Amino acid sequence: MRLFVGLGNPGAKYAGNRHNIGFMAVDRIAADHGFAPWRARFQGQLAEGLLDGEKVLLLKPETFMNLSGQSVGEAMRFYKLTPADVVVFHDELDLAPGKLRVKQGGGHAGHNGLRSLHAHIGEEYGRVRLGIGHPGHKDRVSPYVLSDFAKADQDWLDDLLRGISDGAPALAKGDAAGFQNAVALRRAPAKPAPRAETQSVKPAQNPGHTNPLSPLQALANRFRR
């Protein structure tokens, strides 16, 4: 069994925020793969389903970002899961918008949601880092992540979320490379092979007559006379 956790803040006020891209990721997986309806569990919203035969739980903590670890820890204890069974989807300032990286274990890099997870379950959980870009100065980070994605972001955001959904079955099986390949294909679909073109046959310059001699052949013939 796997536990996929999307990080974000609850409520309509935050639904479109950059900080909520983790919620968006698990919402897309649930919708595309026919998961059971969301229900209130473990201080959050939980949905259950199968990904290519693998039992997967989707969790959106509703404790607000800074206390996400409370919800995740409660769910893990109930299902007797280990950190290795958990994958967390979260926003990442240090990746360009639309970029994605998969990582197992490591630090929290100042992310408040990950900081809470570290405190409650340790650091050995998996994470899918979803690039949202950086506003350029640390003083602008808070208003930036708590602002909605711009209209110009919608195309790459939709491609990224679709790719996450496409690759979710691979991720459930622990195939990080297959998951990332699925995302890459959605973000930059393979170009169709060019169609073979038949070579056009040029019409003879003097239809109905034999081809004229080359200038060199004509000169040689003059001296043969």
Alpha helices in the chain, H assignment, sequence order: 21-32, 68-79, 112-121, 141-145, 154-172, 176-187, 215-224
Q: CA–CA distance from 99 to each of 95, 163, 177, 183, 206 (Å)? A: 6, 11, 15, 9, 61
Query: Beta partners for 55?
Result: 50
Euclidean distance between CA atoms 20 and 162, whole angstroms: 16
Clarify whether 108 is annotated catalytic. no
Closest listed residue to residue 147, CA positions, set 22, 18, 21, 20: 18
Spatial CB neighbours of 150, under 8 Å, sequence gap ≥ 6: none
Euclidean distance between CA atoms 60 and 46, whole angstroms: 7
Which tokens in the block code for residue 94? 């240090």
Q: Are strands 126-131 and 100-104 parallel, antiparallel or unpaired?
A: antiparallel
Opening angle at CA 160, ends 158 and 161, nearest 5: 65
Active centre residues (catalytic): 19
